[in-house]
Amino acid sequence: MKPRNFLFILSDQHHRLASGCYGNPLVQTPHLDALAARGTRFQNAYTNCPICVPARASLATGRYVHQIGYWDNGHPYDGTPVSWHQRLREQGFCCDSIGKLHFKGQGADHGFSEEIEPLHVVDGVGDVLGCIRDQPPFRDKHGELGRAGAGDSTYLQYDALCTEHALRWLAEHRDDAKPWVVFLNFVCPHPPYIAPPEIYAQYPLADVPLPPQWTPDTWPDHPALDYFRRFFRFDQGHSEETVRRVTAAYYGTTTYLDQQIGRVLSALDEFSLTDSTRVLYTSDHGECLGARGIFGKFTLYDEAAAVPMIMAGPDVPEGKVVQTPVSLVDCFPTALECVGAKLIDEDLPSRSLWQIAQGDDQERTVFSEYHALGTEHGTYMLRRNRYKYNYYVGAPPQLFDLAEDPDELNDLSGMPEHQDLLRDCERELRALLDPEAVDEQVHASQRATIEAAGGTAAVIQRGAFDHSPTPGEKAAFRSHQ
């Protein structure tokens, strides 16, 4: 594959099915749809952890969360182990970032040539309160849901600013002789669930679909999910109006995101860069939108764990849909191969997306895990072609046939005819890691983080904040005493 420029666009919390090219008839994402039409769309792409900070650390390093120890939003990436951006910089490539990274910040070298308008975790530590897993203070997200609707937010403003930075960056590098990489990070459609009024008006509540298992009488009966709902004060359920209004606002922020991406893709045309630039679009994780009674990310269901993934440009198959499972760790070799850099990290659990896109669909297992707020113990996911296997430390597993049951309504784990497959999945998981031992390791690391922050009482007094502030904005801490 001939070396080309690489425009890597990452959004935050984009539900895979909240886009036209993934089959949503309501959400207006014309620019992502056009990108998919002239390129390749991955039907089965996953995050390696359904929460921001670990997902981004995993994407940066090409390694799983349990391999690198960035467990939750209180364990931000500090530049070790090595990132794909660091490997590119070492080999003399210009590799800049624009926008949200959610790394440590505070002067840490994350491997980029330059970070433009970076959004990092608060105070270099992030959400330490989320490290309390043993009798933690619960969080109430109802206020956030109540504010969902039309308006303005610092996140909308920040994404517009990042777009302007991207347009300037492309203009400055249009004539570069050597392939470059720019990692453009938008924060939408991450909450707050606030959409520009003119876009919100495009989504009448009566037209907005309702998610799978959103009513209490249809909730899956599983102790880990029961705990999720209690933790976020979702255990009383939500009104239909709330679910539709939050979803409409979320769709609006997704359309707003698509508009920003459209401006950047238009700039490639304007600067005659389209034919020399490959584009990859994906997100760090999804959004539940009321499915199973939950808003936010956090779970291993596809609404949270699956992500959109689209690529286009020179040598990328046009109009192709890839069924081979992929995940965010695959972005590491993808970035290096795109520009012609050498891949010297041979022990990565990943493959180049360019190679997967050019080949036939193959059997492949991808992996995700979660060790953060809303859970008492670790959860692990294997996506094995048509099947998904979820392992919960201290709780029953789940098994879904996504070919027959894409909404994950029918747990097959208790059926006699699936016991051999269930055992096979557990063997495959245990060949990758010891789930109980990793869970103990996580809890020990989180306890150490709490102690380093002054102990449980001090962490609780510091409180939590709903969303990481944009540059120059102060975190709005709320006490959880």
CA–CA distance, 136 with 352 (Å, rounded to integer) = 40
pLDDT of 480 above 60: no
What does the pLDDT read at residue 12? 98
> Quick one: what percent of the chain has pLDDT higher than 70?
99
Supply the DSSP symbol for 44: S
CA–CA distance, 234 with 228 (Å, rounded to integer) = 8
CA–CA distance, 175 with 251 (Å, rounded to integer) = 37
Supply the DSSP symbol for 216: G
What does the pLDDT read at residue 479? 62
Report, as an integer, the average pLDDT of 392-410: 98
**Is residue 399 a contact partner of residue 157, using CB atoms and an 8 Å limit?**
no
**Rg of the chain on CA atoms, in Å:** 21
What does the pLDDT read at residue 466? 78
CA–CA distance, 121 with 192 (Å, rounded to integer) = 17
CA–CA distance, 114 with 96 (Å, rounded to integer) = 5
pLDDT digits 0-9 by tens, 253-272: 999 999 999 999 999 999 99
Supply the DSSP symbol for 16: T
Which helix (H) or strand (E) segment holds residue 129: the answer is none
In the chain, what's the furthest Cα-to-Cα distance?
63
CA–CA distance, 339 with 178 (Å, rounded to integer) = 9
CA–CA distance, 320 with 356 (Å, rounded to integer) = 11
Give a three-class secondary structure readout of 275-331.
HHEEEEEEECCCCCCCHHHCCCCCCCCHHHHEECEEEECCCCCCCEEECCCEEHHHH
Average confidence score pLDDT of the chain: 97
Residue type, 199: I
pLDDT of 476 above 90: no
**Is residue 310 a contact partner of residue 35, using CB atoms and an 8 Å limit?**
yes
Q: Which residues contact 9 (CB under 8 A, 6 or more apart)?
A: 184, 185, 186, 261, 264, 279, 280, 281, 282
CA–CA distance, 291 with 143 (Å, rounded to integer) = 18
> Quick one: what percent of the chain has pLDDT higher than 90?
96
What does the pLDDT read at residue 477? 79
CA–CA distance, 101 with 119 (Å, rounded to integer) = 6
Which helix (H) or strand (E) segment holds residue 388: the answer is strand 387-392
What does the pLDDT read at residue 481? 45
What are the backbone dihedrals phi and psi of residue 373, each rounded to the nearest 5 degrees, phi first? -60, 150
Q: Is 194 exposed, middle or buried (0-12, 13-18, 19+ CB in 10 A)?
A: buried
Q: Which residues contact 87 (CB under 8 A, 6 or more apart)?
A: 111, 336, 341, 343, 344, 345
Q: Which tokens in the block code for residue 461?
A: 């007094």
pLDDT of 85 above 70: yes
pLDDT digits 0-9 by tens, 270-310: 999 999 999 999 999 999 999 999 999 999 999 999 999 99
- Residue recorded with tokens 């998904």: 388
**Is residue 58 a contact partner of residue 287, using CB atoms and an 8 Å limit?**
no
What does the pLDDT read at residue 475? 84
pLDDT digits 0-9 by tens, 128-181: 999 999 999 999 989 999 999 999 999 999 999 999 999 999 999 999 999 999
Report, as an integer, the average pLDDT of 33-58: 98
**Is residue 82 a contact partner of residue 111, using CB atoms and an 8 Å limit?**
yes
